[in-house]
Structure 1
Amino acid sequence: MRTIVIFLLLLGAQPGALAQDRGPAADENGVPRDLNTVLQVQIFLDRHLFGPGKLDGAVGEFTYKAVVNYNFAMGHRDIYDWAPVLHAAEAEVPVIFAAFQIRSELGKFVNPLLPEKPEDQVKYDYMAYRSYAELVAERFHTDESFLAKCNPEKNLQRLQPGDVVMVPNVRSFRIEEVKAMQSFPKDAKLSANTIVVDTTERMAAVYSPDERLLAAFPITPGKPEFIPVGTWSMKVMMTTPSFRYDKQFLEEGVRGKEAYQLPPGPNSPVGIIWCGLSKSGIGLHGTALPRTIGRSQSAGCVRLANWDAIRLPTLIRPDSPVIVR
């Protein structure tokens, strides 16, 4: 990967479709409109744990919020000023695209035959990606639509090991490094941090004991009538959870008579990690559909993109206070 990235830097290479997709440099408030500049900022913010949502070169709600949170954390007086993050991103992220070659060992995480219906999914051992395009998109914190824009001459549905694709130059989410059923114990330092789940702003923010903002990620909160407002604590954090799919519970918050125990995997409804609260049945977890973060809702839990959810154990641990508001 490093050799290819340096090669791209020397040639000044950019995907053709994106290099041509340029509008005005900035709006009247100094917010950039150039796709490549916005993507550079998004990559920078993502690296510093201020999640802008999926990387797509567009200034959306979560990119705005990530800039504000970054400025607040850095102590900048005007938290709405884009100048500090623009300058920092330009210095830290000189290369915004990289080339990624799909390795054959990633094949065990892809199953194009994985069905859509829960009653059929229970027959499988693993909720894999349904395509290499889905795997690559999530690996580089984006979606398949933007991946297609980065690779206009490729048929992404026919990707195979050995193929090379252009991707955002972000620190990748590596499904092969997610250990099966890894639990995370209490930690003297991390358990002292607090996570605040703001269901109105649709953000989860982590604070140190002295109230420094350490990270903030976009979320999908539960339905308003099921949101467990209050102060709780983190009880358990475990990777690759299985999931009890109960349609009635998801829609009404009441356990139904028919349910399916789904296997683990990135396409599980709870993604690749479960962080259970002291409020029974409620937790923070990943998702099978990162493009829907901030939009769709579940019964009472809090969803994050898998690439953000897997970072939670580096920030909080069991006994961490969890404030839901």
Structure 2
Amino acid sequence: MNSVKAAFLAGAAALALSACSDGGGQEQAQAPAQPPAPAAPQIVASSSPLAQAIDRAAFSAQPLPPDAHRAMLIRAQVLLSRAHFSPGVIDGADGENLMNAVAAFERARGLPEDGRLDAEVWALLVRDTRPVVTDYVITEADVAGPFTEEIPSDYEEMAELDALGFTSPREALAEKFHMDESLLAALNPGADFSVAGTRIVVAAPGPETLPAPVTLVEVDKSRNQVRAYGADGALLASYPATVGSSDMPTPDGEWAVNLVAYDPHWNYDPDKLNFGDKSAGKLDIKPGPNNPVGAVWIDLTKETYGIHGAPEPRLVGKTASHGCVRLTNWDARQLGGAVKKGTRVVFTGSERPAKAKI
């Protein structure tokens, strides 16, 4: 996505859309403080047979039955996430996001970088012997909402809503544990996610913070990946990313972080758009995880551009934006907590031909 104006009013971040549906541009020096990360559940082995199959999953270079293959991929995704090489949404599916996470892990560990989940990569990952899935008891807070039953696609209808919250407790729980909703449902057949006290099986992806400050962010447009480096040049983390297309490109060159805003408004300004309904007029889209820019906005010194969250985590890395850089909400939150004003942001590579999706 390709431009938005950030206005921070009454302690809340308001983003005014320009050529991208994302955001950027600082009006005031202060942004809302980072909200505390949700407490991770204690990681304990689950008695669920489905969970036990995942925790026992082993690598095989030979074809596996579908259930065993999916269990292996779930275990790999969680372990990569714990190591700060995010596969994006944990879904037990193979694909480019997983391949790129493996490649970044290999780079950080000094291995040949081919992106293949092989015996050598697996042996390093499973040095973490803790369960990768665990039991969790749904709390009153998990089901309290408020929820937004339906998120409209029309911006004028969006602007009429008081917030763009989760649509259901199931969606909220899936995001809390970095999971695809379908995987959460598959691991908990028959569970009612709207009832506090219900015991469910969830992924245990690990801490929400990085082990050191980030001094350089690389946006690799060719690989649809953001990589974060520490002061010593070490690769600290990687994240799948949605970037622009050849028609609506993401910036080139070197820029810097301007500020980080949490729970941003999105100010739709048709005078600054290269898409959308010009007759709608200016609109204030309220905050929430299903806001078009997600739950976090990392403003860049390149005017009207930023790195931000996403309302549909399963699509990150699989579509194109209008120029800005989109991460899952949890990855944007982790990166946002490790950068500061002045952190370098370098754009490398080139976009692929693709149709942009907001």
In structure 1, list runs of 5 or more residues that go unmatched. Answer: 175-188
**2:176 counterpart (139, 148, 156):** 139
Tell which deviates more after alignment, 225-234 or 194-203: 225-234
Given the superposition, is the C-alpha separation of residues 109 and 270 from structure 1 closer, same or farther in structure 2, using an over 3 Å criterion?
farther
Question: Is the aligned partner of 1:171 residue 2:206?
Answer: yes
Q: Does the Cα contact within 8 Å between 1:204 and 1:216 map onto a contact in 2? A: yes
Q: How many Å apart are 1:55 and its aligned residue?
A: 0.9
Q: Does the Cα contact within 8 Å between 2:263 and 2:294 map onto a contact in 1? A: yes
Which AA in structure 1 matches 2:235? L
Aligned to 2:50: 15
Q: How many Å apart are 1:258 and its aligned residue?
A: 2.0
Question: Is the aligned partner of 1:259 residue 2:294?
Answer: no
> TM-score scaled to structure 2, two decimals?
0.73
Question: Is the aligned partner of 1:320 residue 2:343?
Answer: yes
Q: Does the Cα contact within 8 Å between 1:206 and 1:213 map onto a contact in 2? A: yes
Question: Is the aligned partner of 1:97 residue 2:151?
Answer: no
Question: Is the aligned partner of 1:232 residue 2:267?
Answer: no
Structure 1 distance, partners of 2:150, 2:240, is 28
Given the superposition, is the C-alpha separation of residues 92 and 190 from structure 1 closer, same or farther in structure 2, using an over 3 Å criterion?
closer
Q: How many Å apart are 1:253 and its aligned residue?
A: 9.3
Question: Is the aligned partner of 1:45 residue 2:80?
Answer: yes
Given the superposition, is the C-alpha separation of residues 269 and 195 from structure 1 closer, same or farther in structure 2, using an over 3 Å criterion?
same
Which AA in structure 2 matches 1:170? P
**1:64 counterpart (68, 91, 99):** 99
Aligned to 1:215: 237
Q: Does the Cα contact within 8 Å between 2:257 and 2:299 map onto a contact in 1? A: yes
Tell which deviates more after alignment, 125-134 or 112-121: 112-121
Structure 1 distance, partners of 2:345, 2:145, is 32
Q: How many Å apart are 1:148 and its aligned residue?
A: 1.7
Q: Does the Cα contact within 8 Å between 1:36 and 1:96 map onto a contact in 2? A: no
Question: What number of residue pairs does the alignment pair up?
Answer: 300
Structure 2 distance, partners of 1:123, 1:48, is 41
Q: How many Å apart are 1:143 and its aligned residue?
A: 1.3
How is 1:114-125 mapped onto 2 (pairs within 5 angstroms)? 114-116=150-152, 117-125=154-162
Which AA in structure 2 matches 1:26? A
Question: Is the aligned partner of 1:201 residue 2:223?
Answer: yes
Tell which deviates more after alignment, 109-118 or 225-234: 109-118
- RCO higher in structure (CA 8 A, sep ≥6): 2
* Deviations 1:25-77, CA, capped at 9 Å, x for gaps: 3338xxx9722222111111101110112112222211121112112101235
Structure 2 distance, partners of 1:250, 1:296, is 19
Q: How many Å apart are 1:146 and its aligned residue?
A: 1.4
Q: How many Å apart are 1:269 and its aligned residue?
A: 0.9
* Deviations 1:293-320, CA, capped at 9 Å, x for gaps: 0122222110000110100134322101
**1:88 counterpart (104, 116, 124):** 124
Question: Is the aligned partner of 1:129 residue 2:166?
Answer: yes
Aligned to 2:195: 160
Given the superposition, is the C-alpha separation of residues 81 and 103 from structure 1 closer, same or farther in structure 2, using an over 3 Å criterion?
closer
Given the superposition, is the C-alpha separation of residues 250 and 143 from structure 1 closer, same or farther in structure 2, using an over 3 Å criterion?
farther
Given the superposition, is the C-alpha separation of residues 38 and 254 from structure 1 closer, same or farther in structure 2, using an over 3 Å criterion?
same
Structure 1 distance, partners of 2:200, 2:85, is 26
Aligned to 1:34: 69
Q: Does the Cα contact within 8 Å between 1:195 and 1:320 map onto a contact in 2? A: yes
Given the superposition, is the C-alpha separation of residues 171 and 190 from structure 1 closer, same or farther in structure 2, using an over 3 Å criterion?
closer
Q: How many Å apart are 1:272 and its aligned residue?
A: 1.1
Aligned to 1:272: 295
Q: Does the Cα contact within 8 Å between 1:150 and 1:166 map onto a contact in 2? A: yes
Q: How many Å apart are 1:273 and its aligned residue?
A: 0.9
Q: Does the Cα contact within 8 Å between 1:43 and 1:93 map onto a contact in 2? A: no
Of all paired residues, the percent bearing the same amino acid is 27
Which structure has more helix as a fraction of its residues?
Answer: 1
Aligned to 1:311: 334
Cα RMSD of the aligned pairs, angstroms, is 3.3
Structure 2 distance, partners of 1:276, 1:78, is 31
> TM-score scaled to structure 1, two decimals?
0.80
Q: Does the Cα contact within 8 Å between 2:208 and 2:334 map onto a contact in 1? A: no
